[in-house]
């Protein structure tokens, strides 16, 4: 009996479904499923206790949107509040946060929870 799994076929199916977001007038295509790099990065942050480290949050967003796209957003003047909103949206879009958690994060952002 031959056992064979074509993982490339599954990747092709995933590539047909894309998430998109518009930031500073540019539309960005995002992977339909959370990249393994982002998950591994998140696991490392949790293990190292870096969940509150602001640079870790930026690195996590970058691992999803890609370095060039992330730098483009920053070059286009994306501020901390918008970056936080992007993070919240990504968490919701990839099913990593419940609607209640998303609301709490948005409320924190609106209260001016920003780096100093």
> Does some domain include residue 96?
yes
User: Given this model, what pLDDT does residue 36 score?
Assistant: 84
**Domain count of the chain?**
1
Residue 3 has pLDDT above 90, yes or no: no
Determine the pLDDT at residue 10.
66
The pLDDT tens digits for 10-39 are 666 666 667 899 999 999 988 888 888 888
Q: Which domain holds residue 47?
A: 33-110
The answer to the question of residue 9 being in a domain is no
Higher per-residue pLDDT: 65 or 7: 65
Average pLDDT over residues 87-91: 87
Q: Which pLDDT value is given to residue 42? A: 74
Any domain includes 76: yes
CA count, 13 A, side-chain hemisphere, 7: 0
**Residue 6 covered by a domain:** no
User: With 70 as the cut, is the pLDDT of residue 84 above it?
Assistant: yes
Residue 23, in any domain of the structure: no
Q: Pseudo-torsion of CA 85, 16, 96, 48, nearest 10°?
A: -90
In a domain, 67, yes or no: yes
Flag whether 11 is in a domain.
no
Domain-located, residue 116: no
Segment 26-73, tens digit of pLDDT: 999 888 888 888 888 777 777 776 555 677 778 888 888 999 999 999
Distance separating alpha carbons of residues 65 and 31, to the nearest angstrom: 8
């Amino acid at each position: 009996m031959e056992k064979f799994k074509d993982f490339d076929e599954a990747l092709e199916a995933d590539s047909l479904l894309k998430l998109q977001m518009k930031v500073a007038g540019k539309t960005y295509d995002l992977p339909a499923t959370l990249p393994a790099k982002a998950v591994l990065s998140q696991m490392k942050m949790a293990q190292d206790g870096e969940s509150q480290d602001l640079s870790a949050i930026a690195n996590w967003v970058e691992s999803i949107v890609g370095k060039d796209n992330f730098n483009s957003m920053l070059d286009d003047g994306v501020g901390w509040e918008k970056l936080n909103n992007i993070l919240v949206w990504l968490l919701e879009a990839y099913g990593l946060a419940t609607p209640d958690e998303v609301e709490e994060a948005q409320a924190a952002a609106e209260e001016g929870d920003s780096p100093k």
